[in-house]
């Protein structure tokens, strides 16, 4: 079964992550979770509360499920993977400093393998200098991160540019995964 790498850390967003984690095996791709260390990680739920006084203008964070990384970034051989799926949440804010993760990320772009990301995941792609000259989407509060990475930001549910499929938030998971699965299958059929 071809493997898809899913890098994450504490405060990765539950719906960003779990939708892909369970969707990939439906088409015979094995999700492999990687983290700074091979251990259990805390996921979080992000949503703007539908009500509240005073109202929230940014997402509220609550504890979510846990997920186990079976490999540390430093031990990942990216040549063993068919694709890369980068979740959002707060995790990318600190993961983007991990040089092993940046090395891994660059491999997927250099090898023209399928990559999907949503929400704050764009911060990792920007730090790895992989989106320069591309058109991408992401959550609106990360538009500047995309632009600082040399990309053109557009506010659309999902954008495909070459080997890269991007989406805004977990609300766009269906379109993101539809495109990513198509890309993975086309690459596998070669």
Tell me the C-alpha distance between 17 and 87, whole Å.
6
Look at residue 158 and tell me whether its pLDDT is greater than 90.
yes
CB 73 within 8 A of CB 105: no
CATH topology for the 3-189 domain: Rossmann fold (3.40.50)
Q: State the pLDDT at residue 190.
A: 79
Question: What's the whole-number mean pLDDT along residues 87-93?
Answer: 96
Tell me what pLDDT residue 60 has: 82
Does 113 have pLDDT greater than 90? yes
**Which residues are catalytically annotated?**
119
| pLDDT on residue 31 | 98
Tell me the C-alpha to C-alpha distance, in Å, between residue 145 and each of 33, 54, 81, 127, 150: 24, 28, 26, 9, 9
Mean residue pLDDT across the chain: 96
User: pLDDT value at position 69?
Assistant: 98
Cα angle 114, 28, 170 (rounded to 5 degrees) comes to: 55
Per-residue pLDDT of 137-146, as tens digits, reads: 999 999 999 9
Whole-structure pTM value: 0.96
| 61 has pLDDT over 90 | no
CA distances (Å), origin 154, targets 23, 136, 157, 159 = 26, 6, 9, 8
The domains of the chain are located at 3-189
pLDDT per position as a tens digit, 13-58: 999 999 999 999 999 999 999 999 999 999 999 888 888 778 888 8
pLDDT digits (tens, 9 = 90+) for 165-186: 999 999 999 999 999 999 999 9
Indicate if the pLDDT at residue 74 is higher than 80: yes
Q: Residue 15 has what pLDDT?
A: 97
In the chain, pLDDT over 90 holds for what percent of residues? 89
**Cβ neighbours for 157, distance < 8 A, ≥ 6 positions apart:** 137, 167, 168, 171, 172, 175
Largest CA distance in the chain: 54
pLDDT at 89 over 90: yes
CB 156 within 8 A of CB 138: no
């Amino acid at each position: 079964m071809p493997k898809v790498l899913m890098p994450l850390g504490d405060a990765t967003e539950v719906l960003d992550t779990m939708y892909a984690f369970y969707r990939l095996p439906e088409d015979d791709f094995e999700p492999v979770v990687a983290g700074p260390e091979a251990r259990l990680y805390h996921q979080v739920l992000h949503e703007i509360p539908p009500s509240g006084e005073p109202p929230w203008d940014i997402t509220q964070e609550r504890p979510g499920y846990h997920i186990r990384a079976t490999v540390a970034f430093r031990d990942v051989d990216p040549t063993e993977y068919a694709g890369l799926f980068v979740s959002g949440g707060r995790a990318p804010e600190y993961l983007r400093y991990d040089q092993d993760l940046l090395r891994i990320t660059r491999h997927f772009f250099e090898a023209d393998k399928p990559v999907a990301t949503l929400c704050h995941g764009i911060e990792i792609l920007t730090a790895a200098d992989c989106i320069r000259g591309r058109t991408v989407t992401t959550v609106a509060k990360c538009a500047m991160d995309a632009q600082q990475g040399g990309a053109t930001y557009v506010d659309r549910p999902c954008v495909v540019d070459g080997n890269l499929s991007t989406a805004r938030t977990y609300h766009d998971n269906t379109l993101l995964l539809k495109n990513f699965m198509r890309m993975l299958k086309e690459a596998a059929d070669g």
